[in-house]
Structure 1
Amino acid sequence: MKKVLGNFDSILSSEDMWKIGGFPLPDGSFWKYQEPEAVVIVRNGTLYVRAPLSNHHDSIQILDNAKHMYYSAEPVEIPENGYIDIEVEIKARTKDTKPGDLYDGYVSFNLLDFTTGAALDFFATDDQYASVYGVLPFPGVTVPDTGKTKYFCLFKEATDHFKPHEFNTFRIRYDRKKDEALFYVNGQEVRRETTIPVKLNQFTIALGIMTEKDLTNEGSVSVHGQTVIGEYSPVTITCSTDAE
């Protein structure tokens, strides 16, 4: 089964395919991942977002990290047997970020399971990328107890098989039966995670602009006038079951 999530030309007028990401807060409000000065352009089926960074949160790390992000309107169900492949092409550019510091501002492709707290991601800048695997305390999400480390996030920075300043194809494969995730850049496997401690059930697909800077005693330090530009192709989803 193959499905394509695109229709970016309706991203501002409809939530049928994509919606602004964020999380409900205990006080009843909703924290939006939406930069007020973002420029959004859709051309030739590609989504372009240019975001001068300003959003920040002084006490909750997950709310501070993502600055501007779109979620798929509906989560993608993961097959019990077989695997799911999710792929996107991304071009990333940054302005006034700290040289060599990927986490000072980057473009993201995130697969988020809000039933378990699991996340499988790629982060990219002009000249490098990171693959990311974690189980996180998303607001309002109950993370299963496994008897192992409950919350973690493992980043792996690299330049292997990456084309600087160009579009790169990022693909993540998850096999629920094998408890395994594979990460590919331009068709080449760059990472494999086995014995994933929780069974993932579904993915909300996210296309984002983010930072990753630890909160300090004074609060957020993630914003200092930098700009991040992301270009995204439609997302291709392929499911294969053992019966196929």
Structure 2
Amino acid sequence: MTSALGTNAWTYDDFTSGELDPGRWRIMSMPGADGLVHPYRDRNARVRTGNGCLELTVHPFTRFHDSDPRQNNAKHMYRSVQRFGAPEQGSLTFRVTMGVRTYGQIPYDLLDAFGTVNLFDLDSGIVLNAAATNDTLYAVVERLVLPGVTRPDEHYIHRVVLDVATEPGRVHDYAITYRAASSDVEFQVDGRPAYWTRIPVPVTGFTAGMALFSARNPARYTRAQREHGQGATGRWGPWRVTTGVT
């Protein structure tokens, strides 16, 4: 049995200000296949913050591309300015509430329109997302292909539907815990374990994010099948971070 030698918990952002704090959040951006840096920003985005919540609505989505997923999938995304280090012997936990309401979403399609709680590490390509549509909650565990970091054959993505009932706009409490010594990851929803996995490479820390997505594969679906007037609203509550050393 191990015992905790120290725990540090704090609120990263409680969203009490009338404007999103630029010292805590900025628009995510990545180089595209064309070599240019593309911000994950949709021209239809409407943002409100205050009273303990960030609310983001994009309706309809307008950020689409026919070949480059980096210019297509994320419609509007914020990333934390801070990167949060993971204790070598202990745990790193992120807690945040999220409610997602989609508009015109294809029922039970995980990729047509959805909102996310994001954790990612660009040093390893590891991504951990909690995702929600009008009708489904699911976990995403992925290793991205990043030049100079990962090879195409190291890429993988798992989407695991969680056994948690939901409905449009319903707020759930999400917690994602990473333990560096074992590379274990645990997802909790509403205080109950929902999914466990082990990632293939060590991670020394994560950046947090919040986003709205539409990510149907351009190679499988026509533009009309991917861009049909759908949109979404996401509401994220305070972000709380806890580190524990054992």
Normalized against structure 2, the TM-score is what? 0.87
Structural RMSD (CA): 2.2
Partners of 1:164 and 1:187 lie apart in 2 by 18
Query: For residue 179 of structure 1, what is the aligned residue in structure 2?
Result: 183
1:109 aligns with 2:117: yes
Check 1:10–1:60 CA distance in 2 against 1; reply closer, same or farther (3 A cut): farther
What per-residue deviation string (whole Å, max 9, x for no partner) do you get for residues 72-121 of structure 1? 01211111111111111001001111122131100111101000000111
Query: For residue 19 of structure 1, what is the aligned residue in structure 2?
Result: 26
Query: For residue 101 of structure 2, what is the aligned residue in structure 1?
Result: 93
> Displacement, 1:27?
5.9
Query: For residue 39 of structure 2, what is the aligned residue in structure 1?
Result: 32
What per-residue deviation string (whole Å, max 9, x for no partner) do you get for residues 175-224 of structure 1? 11011111111111111113x21001221101000022112288755322
Match of 2:75 among 27, 47, 67: 67
Matched residue of 1:74: which SS? strand
Partners of 1:142 and 1:219 lie apart in 2 by 31
Matched residue of 1:236: which SS? strand
**Aligned structure 1 segments of 4 or more residues deviating by more than 4 angstroms:** 25-28, 217-221
Q: Contact 2:32/2:71 (CA < 8 Å) preserved in 1? A: no
1:227 aligns with 2:231: yes
Partners of 1:79 and 1:227 lie apart in 2 by 38
> Displacement, 1:11?
5.0
Matching residue's letter, 2:143: V
Partners of 2:97 and 2:148 lie apart in 1 by 29
Matched residue of 1:104: which SS? coil
Query: For residue 135 of structure 1, what is the aligned residue in structure 2?
Result: 143
Partners of 1:190 and 1:236 lie apart in 2 by 19
Check 1:26–1:228 CA distance in 2 against 1; reply closer, same or farther (3 A cut): closer
Matched residue of 2:82: which SS? coil
Partners of 1:217 and 1:169 lie apart in 2 by 34
Matching residue's letter, 1:237: V
Matching residue's letter, 1:5: Y
Matching residue's letter, 1:108: T
What per-residue deviation string (whole Å, max 9, x for no partner) do you get for residues 38-93 of structure 1? 11111312001110201022222243211100000121111111111111100100
Check 1:132–1:62 CA distance in 2 against 1; reply closer, same or farther (3 A cut): same
Q: Contact 1:161/1:186 (CA < 8 Å) preserved in 2? A: no
Matched residue of 2:154: which SS? coil
Query: For residue 201 of structure 1, what is the aligned residue in structure 2?
Result: 204
Normalized against structure 1, the TM-score is what? 0.88
In structure 2, the gaps of 5 or more residues are 1-7
Matched residue of 1:108: which SS? strand
Query: For residue 188 of structure 1, what is the aligned residue in structure 2?
Result: 192
Check 1:26–1:64 CA distance in 2 against 1; reply closer, same or farther (3 A cut): closer
Taking only the aligned residue pairs, the percentage that are identical comes to 26
Partners of 2:18 and 2:179 lie apart in 1 by 32
Matching residue's letter, 2:177: R
Match of 1:238 among 238, 242, 245: 242
Partners of 2:156 and 2:35 lie apart in 1 by 27
Match of 2:216 among 213, 218, 226: 213
Matched residue of 2:88: which SS? coil
Q: Contact 2:9/2:241 (CA < 8 Å) preserved in 1? A: yes
